[in-house]
Chain A
């Protein structure tokens, strides 16, 4: 192995030289320590004496690194311009077009006004009874399809045994003033519409079948 002067000119020591040893030799450790302290003086001296072009030559790699950053940022800005949806920011920090998309979702319940426009006879009966404020679809289910095109879809009549029981089965949890019965005791197995017309359920002359 050759003993040669250190490649770094500020260092007076001699080192064993192969590229790997230059990298990792014990001598490199000692050498780099002295370089560290010398470097600051070197740098200070160089800025004073050498001018910008010389500085640039020694710091070129840093400018390349910074330049890559700037380039990446510019690419980012260009990509962003194309990728961010056009309506973003229209009303706030969100895609303004989504409001319209949500508003355009399909409707399943027609709403009681749609029913009442055709079935005014039912409305007449219902509005006089206790179910006046129970909307049609609360019992008959979602019927927009029927309201759109009545012949295309005929609603299925609900099963009163299940339907009425849901609301009117007695429970200590329900409000005290609410009409509730124990179905087994109350109707002894008969379906509710035996005695109660669902649209106007009161059991008086107008109600019972």
Chain B
């Protein structure tokens, strides 16, 4: 009856958390990963990735602004969400969301972007016209001081913010892993590894995301791609991927070896309902294939065009694979009965508020935000300007 195999507790038959709840950890993962890439340059002084520094920060901001939307759409009473700020329950990991989000948005990301761009903001507030001028003037917070000492202070404070931002990024996404990992009722979720796996897969998706965006935007702007930059990103992506894959394999092997009461049911689920999304998309296409492709670039000296193609394809596969991972965790965790005697199916609707179309919209919305941010706070120097100058 209606997609149920075997026995499920009567209240378990319909899924509670939909594709929107798959989207939320995916988006915050991209935020955390993009920020870690930015911090590679700022804190760990990896000069090679500097061309993506500002883009990574803006990407993180664009995605962070969209992050609460899938949650709010999912709630039965979205207008009650301020209750999480006013009376957060200290024993609930989900209650942390409001404050961690706000902290990360304002005290880390917005502050760091503002400090890094402040000189440009002040200059643009003087040189632009109309509404845009007003926008920039508000962003200056009333100060037009861009003397070298004030910029030096910005630089120092920005460094500290990035330093604090790294554990904050881990917290922003790690707590999402803990939301699942701390649920003893659900053996597919309950694991101390869950926050760690989420963090590393977030880093993988964020880094791949910025790499793909950088390559795509450079192509759109008809700019040369800085190969030293993407080669370095590719290298970091490869090694972090290895760690991520090892963690996921550790979880899997541990489960298979211990074979506790949930194992038969979960094993059956992975081999039937989740076969395509877990084995084919997440593991093979989304993890093994990109790792092999990136691994090839690490050991074999390939021409630039081949490397570009590999990075683009591997990056896209990674992004799909990490989405599949979130899907397998969230949806997979609700497909089997807590009696371990049955399974249900997820019927994703199309146009309801938790359907596929809103999910697609929310995935594309950050790109629209990014476009606005890139126009407002351009991350790069203009080549055409150089050419005009050189001709002088």
Contact = CB atoms under 8 A, between A and B. Distances in A.
Whether A and B touch directly in their complex, counting CB atoms under 8 A apart, is answered as: yes
12 contacts: A1-B392, A8-B151, A21-B389, A22-B123, A24-B382, A25-B385, A25-B389, A42-B149, A58-B150, A61-B142, A62-B157, A93-B89
A55 B145 CA distance: 12
A61 B87 contact: no
Given A23-B120, A61-B143, A28 B156 contact: no
B150 A29 contact: no
B111 A42 contact: no
B381 A59 contact: no
B310 to A, nearest CB: 29
A52 interface: no
B385 A21 contact: yes
A53 interface: no
Chain A interface size, under 10 / 10 to 19 / 20 to 34 / 35 or more = 35 or more
Contact of A65 (B85, B114, B119, B145): B114
A16 interface: yes
A39 B120 CA distance: 18
Given A20-B127, A20-B385, 15 more contacts: A1-B388, A8-B148, A19-B127, A23-B124, A26-B381, A35-B151, A36-B155, A39-B151, A40-B152, A43-B149, A43-B152, A46-B152, A62-B157, A65-B114, A93-B89
A19 B155 CA distance: 21
A166 interface: no
Nearest to B107: A69
B109 to A, nearest CB: 13
B149 A76 contact: no
Interface stretch (A80-88, A131-139, A152-160, A174-182): A80-88
Nearest to A19: B127
A64 B149 CA distance: 17
Contact of A28 (B86, B150, B155, B381): B381
Interface string B326-355: 000000000000000000000000000000
A10 B107 CA distance: 30
B153 A62 contact: yes
A154 to B, nearest CB: 34
Nearest to A80: B86
A60 interface: yes
A43 B149 CA distance: 6
Interface string B237-260: 000000000000000000000000
Interface residues of B, number: 42
Contacts of B389: 1, 16, 21, 25-26
Interface of A: 1, 8-10, 16, 19-26, 28-29, 35-36, 38-40, 42-43, 46, 55, 57-62, 64-65, 68-69, 76, 80, 83-84, 88, 93
A64 B141 contact: yes
A1 B140 CA distance: 28
Contacts, number: 101
B126 A19 contact: yes
Nearest to B147: A58
A25 B385 CA distance: 7
Contacts of B381: 23-26, 28-29
A114 B264 CA distance: 52
A90 B154 CA distance: 47
A10 B150 contact: no
B378 interface: yes
B118 interface: yes
Nearest to B114: A65
Contacts of B154: 62
B148 A39 contact: yes
Given A61-B140, A61-B141, A76-B85, A16 B149 contact: no
Contacts of B119: 23
Contacts of A80: 85-86
Contact of A93 (B87, B118, B147, B392): B87
A35 B86 contact: no
A113 B151 CA distance: 82
B149 A65 contact: no
Nearest to B91: A93
Contacts of A83: 82, 86
For the complex of A and B, list the 4 residue pairs with the smallest distance between their C-beta atoms, beginning with the closest: A39-B152, A24-B381, A61-B143, A58-B150
B224 interface: no
